[in-house]
A and B are shown apart, each in its own frame.
Chain A
Amino acid sequence: MPFQLEIFFDNLLNGLTLGALYSLVTLGLVLTFSVIGIVNFAHGDLFMMGGYTFFLLNNSPLNLPYPVIALLVIILTAVYSMIIERVAIHPIINRSWRTYAITTIGLSIILQNGALAIFSADPKQTPTALANQIITPFGIRISLQRLLILLVVVIVFIGLQVFVKHTKLGKTMRAVSQNREMCQVVGINVYRIALITFGIGGAITGLAAALITPLFSVYNTMGSMLTIKALAAVVMGGMGQVNGALYASFLMGIVESFFGGYVAFAYKDVVSFGIFVLVLFLRPRGLFGKKIGL
């Protein structure tokens, strides 16, 4: 196959949007991971809940415009996330990551099967007007929805940086991520920070759901693969490094897109996880992990 610039850019753009999509899902996870140390196996299912919420609102007789629906999905997903924190995470917050893992796996089972009982197993599609509008700048086909996702990721990323570095709450969250006991000593309410972190993580996940759902279908088990990819991105980025996790998500998206486009579509997930495993071998602390001496 001769090298064609158009196909190359097609794949690149596709990879970028896929990466943007992964990074939006990863962001919510890496926040709770880095601040509270929660290994959340139910994160993808939170995204699934956001997706179904979007589906319900979009098909409601109210005929709400897309931005309003998106806002509602963001708020509701944040609320779900905070409820989850209160019910399941709060009582075990001082326990080991194994407890986190099993509890969130239990949560994931409940959420997936709850969705199955309510919505049945067939995928639901909710295309919006934006997803169907395709523009072709320089001969590259792209839907406006994908462009919007890219734009939003950049905005969210910058917003999060500003929030974490320059607001009091953001600084508190960073402090909690570094030493929880000391924070308690100086009078920071760690439980409140955990709740807020879950709220922010939920809001970002809701945003992801509102942006991504129009492009794909929603089904009850969609969260599993997303959870694992997001966890892989978190680990690859260097255990709880927000920036690292984002770069790792983009790396996975681009690699998947190029491999799927040029080599073999069936093996694209293999390569994506293969790179993850390879990164662990070459750099056990992740791509951007800092070396901590023993």
Chain B
Amino acid sequence: MKTSIQWFRWVGIPAFFLVVLTVLPLIFKTGFMINALINVVRWTIFALAFDLVAGHIGAVSLGQPIFYGIGAYLTAYLASELGLGWLGCMLVAAVLMALLAILAGLAFFRIRDVTFAIGTLGALIVTQLVANSAEKITGGALCKTGIPRPEIILPFLAKAIKIIQPIQYYFLLLPFLGFTILLYLALTRSRIGKAFTAVREDEARASAIGIYPLRYKLVAFAISGALIGALGSWQAQYVTVFCPSDMGQDITTALLIMVFVGGAARLSGVVVGAVIFSILPPFLQVMGSQYFQPAYQEILYGIILITVMLYMPDGLDGLAGRLFRRFQHHKKEGG
């Protein structure tokens, strides 16, 4: 019984989630729907990658948008100067960001906890300020423009398909989400995941039983960096414009909220958090635009956030788990 529930939890729910995401845009073809779905998928990938480091390793890196931004700028260069294809751009961005993550990790993993978080936040601000000032490379505050749109060349078609519509972009992104979920599960449900947990809970004890903490930290950091770099590459090709403000601190804030309010180090928690908090802002906007101005929507968002933190200590996922257990408990007592 228990195994079937677990099976459903680890395979069924992600599969169901992906199927829903595939079917929804085919039924509701409004622009609003597609945009909302793109938001959901993008943030889910981002949050899962962030959670690999923040949730599983316990090193809350507030600097993850660095990989996003550099991935995007790299794509702008590779696609427009070297004429590399969309998939090539994403792969190169992923590989280079993994390397950057390893280098950065070697330096940053000397510090821990709050120091690590604020140190990586400092690194993010340095990167963003440099992107803002280095006008020759990044276009500065006026943004990098004219990033080429992806083209897909299929052998049985004479002409390449130019990706223009949001829905086309969406279906480019969806397999990436599938890949991310698979990778996330493969990593965290295996021996490596157990090692991650050991490192997070107690580094000294982990190394005592032969787990070298730095190695696992670097593995998680590199994979997270690669995923986020590839996502940045996709983003650059989707919007065709990338600004220093697109790799800002507000991304970090959103990620923190999604992962820790949803439930860190659990696939269901991260996905729930990402879905809710990527839909909530546009939802508040649409619902609230008749009644109040944007500032009040943000205030409402903040209030929701604090309320969740005060009353649901283990996140939304933990709350769901508690309710589920209570329900099962009642059923057992009743029957």
Listed stretches A7-15, A71-79, A255-263, A269-277; interface member? A269-277
**B129 located at the interface, meaning its Cβ lies under 8 Å from any Cβ of chain A in the complex:** yes
Q: Are B257 and A102 in contact (CB under 8 A)?
A: yes
Q: Are A103 and B310 in contact (CB under 8 A)?
A: yes
With A267-B129, A273-B129 given, is the CB distance from A107 to B298 under 8 Å? no
Q: Are A109 and B118 in contact (CB under 8 A)?
A: no
A59 to chain B, nearest CB (A): 22
Q: Are A109 and B305 in contact (CB under 8 A)?
A: yes
Q: Which residues of B contact A169 (CB under 8 A)?
A: none
With A98-B260, A101-B256, A117-B299 given, is the CB distance from A270 to B133 under 8 Å? yes
Q: Are A114 and B295 in contact (CB under 8 A)?
A: yes
> DSSP majority for the A interface?
helix
Q: Which has the most chain A C-beta neighbours within 10 Å: B119, B301, B313?
A: B119
Contact of B130 among A232, A270, A284 (CB under 8 A): A270
Interface residues on A, range: 35 or more
Q: Are A106 and B309 in contact (CB under 8 A)?
A: yes
Contact of B256 among A105, A266, A284 (CB under 8 A): A105
A170 to chain B, nearest CB (A): 24
**B110 located at the interface, meaning its Cβ lies under 8 Å from any Cβ of chain A in the complex:** yes
Listed stretches A88-96, A140-148, A185-193, A206-214; interface member? A88-96
With A113-B296, A235-B114 given, is the CB distance from A276 to B122 under 8 Å? yes
- State in angstroms the CA–CA spacing of A234 and B309 once bound together: 25
When C-beta atoms are compared, the residue in chain B nearest to A280 turns out to be B119
Q: Which residues of B contact A270 (CB under 8 A)?
A: 126, 129-130, 133
**B320 located at the interface, meaning its Cβ lies under 8 Å from any Cβ of chain A in the complex:** no
Q: What per-residue 1/0 map shows which CB atoms of B245-261 lie under 8 Å from chain A? A: 00001000100110011
A237 to chain B, nearest CB (A): 11
Q: Are B302 and A106 in contact (CB under 8 A)?
A: yes
Q: Which residues of B contact A112 (CB under 8 A)?
A: 298
Q: Are B115 and A107 in contact (CB under 8 A)?
A: no
**A172 located at the interface, meaning its Cβ lies under 8 Å from any Cβ of chain B in the complex:** no
Q: Are A116 and B295 in contact (CB under 8 A)?
A: yes
Q: Which residues of A contact B36 (CB under 8 A)?
A: none
- State in angstroms the CA–CA spacing of A101 and B108 once bound together: 20
Q: Are B310 and A239 in contact (CB under 8 A)?
A: no
**A294 located at the interface, meaning its Cβ lies under 8 Å from any Cβ of chain B in the complex:** yes
Q: Which residues of B contact A273 (CB under 8 A)?
A: 122-123, 125-126, 129
Q: Are B295 and A117 in contact (CB under 8 A)?
A: yes
**A30 located at the interface, meaning its Cβ lies under 8 Å from any Cβ of chain B in the complex:** no
**B60 located at the interface, meaning its Cβ lies under 8 Å from any Cβ of chain A in the complex:** yes
**B271 located at the interface, meaning its Cβ lies under 8 Å from any Cβ of chain A in the complex:** no
**A150 located at the interface, meaning its Cβ lies under 8 Å from any Cβ of chain B in the complex:** no
Q: Are B295 and A92 in contact (CB under 8 A)?
A: no
**A97 located at the interface, meaning its Cβ lies under 8 Å from any Cβ of chain B in the complex:** yes
Contact of A105 among B123, B126, B257 (CB under 8 A): B257
Q: Which residues of A contact B261 (CB under 8 A)?
A: 102
B100 to chain A, nearest CB (A): 15
B83 to chain A, nearest CB (A): 32
With A97-B114, A117-B295, A284-B111 given, is the CB distance from A103 to B309 under 8 Å? yes
Q: Which residues of B contact A108 (CB under 8 A)?
A: 302
With A105-B256, A277-B119 given, is the CB distance from A95 to B313 under 8 Å? yes
- State in angstroms the CA–CA spacing of A117 and B133 once bound together: 31
With A284-B111, A284-B115 given, is the CB distance from A102 to B125 under 8 Å? no
**B303 located at the interface, meaning its Cβ lies under 8 Å from any Cβ of chain A in the complex:** yes
- State in angstroms the CA–CA spacing of A106 and B111 once bound together: 26
- State in angstroms the CA–CA spacing of A243 and B113 once bound together: 22
- State in angstroms the CA–CA spacing of A39 and B114 once bound together: 8
Q: Which residues of B contact A105 (CB under 8 A)?
A: 253, 256-257, 305
**A125 located at the interface, meaning its Cβ lies under 8 Å from any Cβ of chain B in the complex:** no
When C-beta atoms are compared, the residue in chain A nearest to B293 turns out to be A117
B126 to chain A, nearest CB (A): 5
Q: Are B129 and A114 in contact (CB under 8 A)?
A: no
Q: Are A113 and B302 in contact (CB under 8 A)?
A: yes
Q: Which residues of A contact B299 (CB under 8 A)?
A: 109-110, 113-114, 117
Q: Which residues of B contact A232 (CB under 8 A)?
A: 118, 122
When C-beta atoms are compared, the residue in chain A nearest to B113 turns out to be A97
Q: Which residues of A contact B111 (CB under 8 A)?
A: 280, 284
Instruction: Point out residues on B near A: beta carbons under 8 Å.
Output: 60, 107-108, 110-111, 113-115, 117-119, 121-123, 125-126, 129-130, 133, 204, 249, 253, 256-257, 260-261, 264, 293-296, 298-299, 301-303, 305-306, 309-310, 313
